[in-house]
Chains A and B, each alone.
Chain A
Amino acid sequence: MAALSDQMLITQVTVFGSRRAYDTLVQRHQASLRQFLLSLTGGDGMLSDDLAQDSFVKAWLQLNTFKNKSSFKTWLFRIAYNVFYDYIRSRKEVQSIEDVETEVNSFYKQQANDGSLSSDIQQAMQLLSANERTCITLFYLDSLQIKDIASVLNMPEGTVKSHLARGKEKMTTFLKQNGYE
Chain B
Amino acid sequence: MNNDELIRKFLQENVTQPDDNGFSERVMRHIPRYTPVWIALLKAVLLVAAALLVFFYFDLWTIICNKIVELIQWIAYAKHTSLSPLLLLIPAGLLAYGADRLKVFR
Stretch at the interface among A50-58, A67-75, A88-96, A144-152: A50-58
A35 touches B39 (CB 8 A): no
Does B12 sit at the interface, judged by CB under 8 A? Answer: yes
Closest chain-A Cβ to B4's Cβ sits at a distance in Å of 8
* Size range of the chain B interface in the assembly: 20 to 34
Q: Tell me the chain B residues, 24-83 only, with Cβ under 8 Å from chain A.
A: 24, 26-28, 30-32, 34-39
B7 touches A19 (CB 8 A): no
A15 touches B38 (CB 8 A): yes
Stretch at the interface among A1-9, A25-33, A79-87, A106-114: A25-33
Closest chain-B Cβ to A7's Cβ sits at a distance in Å of 16
- Give the chain B neighbours of A26 by CB distance below 8 A: 24, 27-28
Chain A residue at smallest Cβ distance from B18? A34
Does A38 sit at the interface, judged by CB under 8 A? Answer: yes
A-B contact count, CB below 8 Å? 95
B36 touches A171 (CB 8 A): no
Chain A residue at smallest Cβ distance from B19? A31
Q: In this complex, which of B4, B7, B20, B35 has the most chain A Cβ atoms within 10 angstroms of its Cβ? A: B7
- Give the chain B neighbours of A168 by CB distance below 8 A: 3-4, 7
Does A64 sit at the interface, judged by CB under 8 A? Answer: yes
The majority secondary structure among interface residues of chain B is helix
Does B84 sit at the interface, judged by CB under 8 A? Answer: no
Closest chain-B Cβ to A119's Cβ sits at a distance in Å of 10
Q: In this complex, which of A140, A141, A171 has the most chain B Cβ atoms within 10 angstroms of its Cβ? A: A140
B24 touches A23 (CB 8 A): yes
Does B89 sit at the interface, judged by CB under 8 A? Answer: no
A35 touches B15 (CB 8 A): yes
Q: CB within 8 Å of A: which residues of B?
A: 1, 3-4, 6-8, 10-12, 14-15, 17-20, 23-24, 26-28, 30-32, 34-39
30 pairs of residues in contact across A and B, judged by CB atoms under 8 Å = A13-B34, A15-B36, A15-B37, A17-B34, A19-B34, A22-B28, A23-B28, A26-B28, A27-B20, A30-B20, A30-B23, A31-B17, A31-B18, A52-B23, A52-B27, A53-B27, A53-B30, A56-B27, A56-B31, A57-B30, A64-B37, A120-B10, A121-B11, A121-B14, A121-B15, A124-B10, A140-B4, A140-B11, A168-B7, A172-B3
